[in-house]
Structure 1
Amino acid sequence: MILNRRRMLLASGAAALGASAFARTLSAAQQGDRKKVLYFTKSSGFQHSVIARDGDELAHSEKILIDLGAEHGFDVTASKDGRLFDPDRIDEWDAFVFYTTGDLTQPGTDGQPPMSPEGLKAFLDAIQSGRKGFVGIHCATDTFHSGPDDRTPYIEMIGGEFISHGPQQVSKIKVVDSEFPGADAFGSEFEINDEWYAFRNMSDQIHGIMVQLTDGMTSGRSRDYERPDYPMTWVKKYGDGRVFYTSMGHREDVWTNPKYQGLLIGGLNVVTGRADADFTPNVSEITPGYQTLPG
């Protein structure tokens, strides 16, 4: 079932958005340059609480992203229906936002219609060609996992693959590209409570925006953070396509944080071409040990 909803964004949230993201989005909205966005929240693996629905009621994050979109020039549709990626449907959207888990060509945990193989190919082709933009949030890297020898095309596209996380905790994050729309609101370094992903198969084409500072973090049994610092929010190119990812977003209170909302709007502005960003790969310079696995 596709659920659309339009509500006014709270004034306090709009006022607290990162200045660059807000100004650029407002300008686009005033010009009538609205973009159509599919917020895809299918779970073929674990279903996170921020995308879990109660009957036909929209989930926590779905309501927030639809509200933000309505205020800032994006018509957001929230759905768990993989059939929307079929080749005859995919051109309805200007960009995709994924909060997903597992192999989305399988019905999986939520039992909703999966993507077809043709739909998956159409999706990847649309991003690679530059016709569509992509935003991945949190568990989007816990999707279409790679085998022992090869990265899946999806992992190549998004730029990294979830392997584990420790307990939820306050972590220190360094902002390395404050010019990215919405990132300036966080300052040069900040702390926030969330669930922090460790990655493997990180692309050397990443342009890091924020870096996970691992010193002092509490690991789980997988020794998740016993490794050098690594990017946790980035952009990269996939062919001609623009890709944005942030690992933040597990917790409900992160989604209601105006700074986080501003970062998501900034990401949507960039991947839809409304705002410019630096895509120059910098991961080897900002986090030289980023490929080192935990433990």
Structure 2
Amino acid sequence: MRILLVLVAAALSLAGASVATAAEKPIRLLYLDQSVGWRHRPVTRPEGGGLAPSETAMIAIGKKSGAFTTEVTQDAREITPQRLETVDVLVLYTTGALPISAEAWTAVQTRLAAGKLGFVGLHSAADTGWDYAGPGLDYTTMLNGQFGGHPWTEEQKVRVKALDNHPLAAPWGRSVDLVEEIYQYKRFDPAAVRVIQSLDFSGMPLKRPYAVPVSWVRSVGAGRLFFTNLGHNETTWADPRFAEQIVRAVRWTAWRARGDATPNPREQARDQVRALLTYAGEADVEARVARVKDEAWLLDVAGRIAALREVYPGKPEADRTRFEAAYAAVLVEVRAR
């Protein structure tokens, strides 16, 4: 952990683009990194006591940028309606069924919808959820995605591309190669969010025939939500570009920065076609994607491409019959366009 903290300090010395102005009051941030089940290294506290690496990093990022102050907890029961009145942005790096009361979750949604609370989810915040039958949205519906497996584990090379020019994706540039663990998602609705980063299979040895989002934003009433799959590895936390993305996300969800949250299902649909053609080894992929003008057909075929995830064999020895039939049918249709 000591090595990680040194790297974080070095990263922060380089990440200075999103520094708060002197006139801005620091955003009050509450960082919850409780694990109910699998525990990632960045949220693991030392046996002898002290903070987890990501907790130390969040505090340092806030201080360096001047954008926010940070309180940390690994107990979701501390999230109460009363506590939320002193919080501007809630950040989760969590797993499992958190012990959040229905009253507290209702308060989160109420404040978020009123624009009084921003929400940021990091990595395994998408591997989090609990039973909730109260008013508003359950956690997974609000986040718009649930962990659905990850063939790209922590030692896999991945390429992440910007899907548009959103300022929250800008720290990484148009494309970046990383070693990261990337999730696939269940219960993902492309019409609900604006995807700002996704996997670029043209630069990856391990491909899938469907698009895989990495980061997205959305509006929840008058509130703002940002999620990124990044953050599994310590090297990501030590990267100044990740620190910059966190600062921008916190400021954006607190309404301190501009950035469009309008859903972009058409661009996501093009990304589905792009993934399919890349998986098939087709040439001139970008030109062929650009030629698609029938938006009704594009959205329809994108849904069928996305559905390939549900039948893609989970193991090399698994039966591929259903997948191959569905894949061949949609590929023939796309090739004909």
Output the TM-score relative to the length of structure 1.
Answer: 0.81
Q: CA separation in 2, counterparts of 1:209 and 1:135?
A: 14
Distance 1:217 1:162, change over 3 A: farther
Percent sequence identity is 29
Structure 2 equivalent of residue 208 of structure 1 = 195
Q: Answer yes or no: is the 8 Å Cα contact 2:118–2:225 preserved in 1.
A: yes
> Which of 69, 76, 81 is equivalent to 2:75?
81
Structure 1 equivalent of residue 116 of structure 2 = 131
In the TM superposition, what whole-angstrom CA distance separates every residue of 1:224-277 from its partner, at most 9, and x where no partner exists?
A: x63412321110012221000000100011100001111111111100011011
Q: Answer yes or no: is the 8 Å Cα contact 1:138–1:248 preserved in 2.
A: yes
Equivalent position SS for 1:26: coil
**Structure with larger Rg:** 2
- Residue 12 of structure 1, CA deviation: 5.4
- Residue 218 of structure 1, CA deviation: 6.3
Q: CA separation in 1, counterparts of 2:174 and 2:202?
A: 17
Alignment of 1:247 with 2:229, yes or no, is: yes
In the TM superposition, what whole-angstrom CA distance separates every residue of 1:104-131 from its partner, at most 9, and x where no partner exists?
A: 12xxxxxxxxx22222222222222221
The residue correspondences of 1:175-214 to structure 2 (distance < 5 A) are 175-181=162-168, 183-203=169-189, 204-214=191-201
> Which of 64, 67, 72 is equivalent to 1:71?
64
Structure 2 equivalent of residue 4 of structure 1 = none
Q: CA separation in 2, counterparts of 1:239 and 1:45?
A: 31
Q: CA separation in 2, counterparts of 1:133 and 1:235?
A: 11
Structure 1 equivalent of residue 146 of structure 2 = 161
Structure 1 equivalent of residue 30 of structure 2 = 38
- Residue 200 of structure 1, CA deviation: 1.4
Structure 2 equivalent of residue 48 of structure 1 = 40
- Residue 217 of structure 1, CA deviation: 5.0
Q: Answer yes or no: is the 8 Å Cα contact 1:132–1:241 preserved in 2.
A: yes
Output the TM-score relative to the length of structure 2.
Answer: 0.72
Q: Answer yes or no: is the 8 Å Cα contact 2:11–2:238 preserved in 1.
A: no
- Residue 216 of structure 1, CA deviation: 6.9
- Residue 76 of structure 1, CA deviation: 0.4
Structure 1 equivalent of residue 307 of structure 2 = 292
Q: CA separation in 2, counterparts of 1:201 and 1:126?
A: 24
Equivalent position SS for 1:78: strand
Distance 1:177 1:171, change over 3 A: same
- Residue 35 of structure 1, CA deviation: 1.1
List alignment gaps of at least 5 residues for structure 1.
1-8, 106-114, 220-224
Q: CA RMSD in A?
A: 2.4
Distance 1:129 1:26, change over 3 A: closer
Equivalent position SS for 2:210: coil
Greater helix percent: which structure?
Answer: 2
Greater strand percent: which structure?
Answer: 1
Q: Answer yes or no: is the 8 Å Cα contact 1:36–1:74 preserved in 2.
A: yes
Q: CA separation in 2, counterparts of 1:10 and 1:196?
A: 25
- Structure ranking higher on relative contact order (CA contacts 8 Å, 6+ apart): 1
